[in-house]
Structure 1
Amino acid sequence: MIALCAALSAHAGELELPLGANALANRDMPFARYDIPVGPWRDGAVAMELAEGRVLRRTWRINGGQTTLQVFDPLRSQIETQGYEVLFQCHDVECGGFDFRFAVDVVPAPDMAVDFGDYLFLSAKSAAGDFITLLVSRFGRANFVQLVEIGTGDANVIVTPTVAPQAEVSQPTRPQTQADTDQDLTSRLISAGHAVLAGLEFQSGSTTLAQERYESLDALATFMEAQPEQRILLVGHTDTVGNLAPNTALSRARSEAVMRQLQQVYGVDRNRMEAAGAGYMAPLTTNQDAAGREINRRVEVVLLPPK
């Protein structure tokens, strides 16, 4: 079987990725500081170990039906075989779910995508003092892999990666924005674990929904009624106009408004819902034009495990 191989640092040798892995991002910083996650989200923060050196951040997209663990496990084994000792590893719930994802460094979309309810992470260190972090998540119909290497012993320890010939990567298409039907929303939630609540309209500069009922909220309420043990996270997102802090606050306030509407209008139990705001940290598409900014301003629903 022909596999895609990417050269790692001089200490790490080569890492073999599954057949069909398409390289996306390749971000090389000759000398930088980098926080290595070494623990889960706890008490409002993630435990970090600071490293300095050359930082190489790369991502791949792997199409196909493999699970997150089927992609993650062989990569973890190869990292350990190369002499790296695992410092910390976790899956989505153990890591801290949404909070962990946004506390650690992740290459922005579309070069990396993370499903809050389906990802695996590890950080590892070599005897020479070099670090590797690995993040794998299944998002939609593909797995995304992020590998970060930090060379601490020598600023030039990480070489320029070489990649075997591969199929041309098609440009990402913009997501549809029409309101989901009950069946559409349910199928997206079951297959991907999350979905955009399409069609929501907020009054300009406000956190108040413009109307009482929406097709996407009708569909979500129907889904929640049919799944009485299911819990959800509502996540607000903004475009990049303005600073991060106010955008994060605005996005959270809008997700809380949706949560109130689901409770007050549709009768969904408040104890089955959580709200969070990501600001502009997880765009679906470009923020360089008005159409892209409109798509990025959204509220998503993410499935959470039952308590």
Structure 2
Amino acid sequence: MKAAAGLLALGLAAAGPARAEFLPLMPGPAEVTARHEAAFDSYVLALGPWRPTGQQTRRLEGRIDQSAWHLPGYEQGTLALLADLRDQLAKAGFRVLFECETDTCGGFDFRFAMDLIPEPEMHVDLGDFRYLAAEQPQEGRFLAMVVSRSPRAGWVHLTEVARQAAPDPAVPDSAAAVAPGQTPAEGQARPAAKPGTPAATPEGADGAAIGARLVAEGRVVLEGLVFASGADRLDAGPDADLAALAGWLKQNDWAQVVVVGHTDTTGSLAANVALSKRRAEAVRARLIARHGAPEARIGAEGAGWLAPRASNATPEGRARNRRVEVVLTSTRVGGP
């Protein structure tokens, strides 16, 4: 029953550069519906159930590989599916850090606090899912796994983080979010720029323009940053507004800013405040790692869905509300 999945895993291993990655043997026919990859990014690993008072997590930085798997015709339950994959993790040297099922995880709020590839590539039944977090300490690798079901099918989502130091900020990372059938323009990594090459920005996205709006209005929406509903992972870019903001901050050492994340109204307020803060932290991390922005003068906070800029009653409005803004917190222009 594992032959087809085994051949698929071998194909994935041969498709990219050699690196340590957990490649599961699925219990039956399986297909990868989407893969998201980032050469360097941040990820928040859940290590406890979601509660209104908070959740135990661990923030990781390094190479991130995500994959969503569809198991057509799978008829066993999520317990059996997770048990099979847990055994494979143990053989690969991983140890379990935390494990839960639907209600003990925290149900709806736990699921929407997770960074998952969205529907239709990854399906999560809110009444039947299981989660597992594991660590491979010898190699500094962490893995988060979600398994769920739909009628006559199983679903598996894997996120693996290989910890590493930040890359040279002069060279952009090779973050990519690649789904089957995408072209390089839609999701593949951009070629790395040579050190010293100025970032390409569209008309109107230069640092002086963003700085002038910050001084005049106090806040600016950072356009072009794409988040799926329920996720805190940035797409590959380009990051025109981030490059411009970083340039302005480097030229104005008096300026203090806070990056503020906002969400749509999918899920509870507490879960969305946490999600929006992770989005802000992801943007802050990219400002620093990719664009060399001054770390000490940039904060990150989350507002959840408390400050919409459009109606949440339409898909277009919800997409506009999933945004990140930068707020100028300095009380004097040109001084402390």
Cα separation, partners in 2 of 1:61 and 1:14, compared to 1, 3 Å:
closer
In structure 1, how many angstroms separate the alpha carbons of the residues matched to 2:103 and 2:129?
A: 9
In structure 2, how many angstroms separate the alpha carbons of the residues matched to 1:61 and 1:21?
A: 6
Deviations 1:61-107 (A, max 9, x none): 11221211222111111011111111100000110000100111111
Cα separation, partners in 2 of 1:21 and 1:85, compared to 1, 3 Å:
same
Aligned residues: 177
Partner of 1:131: 142
Cα separation, partners in 2 of 1:77 and 1:43, compared to 1, 3 Å:
same
Deviations 1:144-192 (A, max 9, x none): 1100110114789xxxxxxxxxxx99xxxxxxxxxxxxxxxxxxxxxxx
Give the alignment's TM-score, normalised by structure 2.
Answer: 0.46
Partner of 2:116: 106
Deviations 1:95-120 (A, max 9, x none): 00001001111111001111111001
Partner of 1:24: 33
Aligned ranges 1:204-243 → 2 under 5 Å: none
SS in 1 for 2:127: coil
Q: Which amino acid aligns with 2:27?
A: P
Cα separation, partners in 2 of 1:44 and 1:24, compared to 1, 3 Å:
farther
Cα separation, partners in 2 of 1:69 and 1:147, compared to 1, 3 Å:
same
In structure 2, how many angstroms separate the alpha carbons of the residues matched to 1:91 and 1:75?
A: 15
In structure 2, how many angstroms separate the alpha carbons of the residues matched to 1:245 and 1:136?
A: 28
Deviation at 1:53, TM superposition (A): 0.6
Aligned ranges 1:41-190 → 2 under 5 Å: 41-64=50-73, 65-127=75-137, 128-153=139-164
In structure 2, how many angstroms separate the alpha carbons of the residues matched to 1:130 and 1:86?
A: 12
> Which residue, out of 11, 26, 34, partners 2:43?
34
Q: Which amino acid aligns with 1:89?
A: E
In structure 2, how many angstroms separate the alpha carbons of the residues matched to 1:116 and 1:29?
A: 28
Q: Which amino acid aligns with 1:80?
A: A
Contact 1:12 1:82 in 2 (8 A): no
Cα separation, partners in 2 of 1:60 and 1:4, compared to 1, 3 Å:
same
Deviation at 1:11, TM superposition (A): 4.4
In structure 1, how many angstroms separate the alpha carbons of the residues matched to 2:43 and 2:268?
A: 28
In structure 2, how many angstroms separate the alpha carbons of the residues matched to 1:82 and 1:11?
A: 11
Cα separation, partners in 2 of 1:155 and 1:132, compared to 1, 3 Å:
farther
Q: Greater strand percent: which structure?
A: 1
Q: Which amino acid aligns with 1:88?
A: F
In structure 2, how many angstroms separate the alpha carbons of the residues matched to 1:22 and 1:292?
A: 28
RMSD: 3.6
In structure 2, how many angstroms separate the alpha carbons of the residues matched to 1:106 and 1:144?
A: 12
Q: Which amino acid aligns with 1:4?
A: A
Contact 1:86 1:124 in 2 (8 A): yes
- Which has the higher mean CA deviation after the structures are superposed, 83-92 or 133-142? 133-142
Deviation at 1:44, TM superposition (A): 4.0
In structure 2, how many angstroms separate the alpha carbons of the residues matched to 1:26 and 1:98?
A: 24
Deviations 1:12-40 (A, max 9, x none): 55421122111101111110011111110
In structure 1, how many angstroms separate the alpha carbons of the residues matched to 2:58 and 2:118?
A: 22
Contact 1:85 1:125 in 2 (8 A): yes
In structure 1, how many angstroms separate the alpha carbons of the residues matched to 2:268 and 2:22?
A: 43
Structure 2 gaps of 5+ residues are 168-179, 182-228, 230-260, 270-303, 306-313, 320-336
Give the alignment's TM-score, normalised by structure 1.
Answer: 0.50
In structure 2, how many angstroms separate the alpha carbons of the residues matched to 1:58 and 1:40?
A: 23
Cα separation, partners in 2 of 1:83 and 1:99, compared to 1, 3 Å:
same
Identity of aligned residues (%): 34
In structure 2, how many angstroms separate the alpha carbons of the residues matched to 1:144 and 1:66?
A: 12
* 1:4 is aligned to 2:5: yes
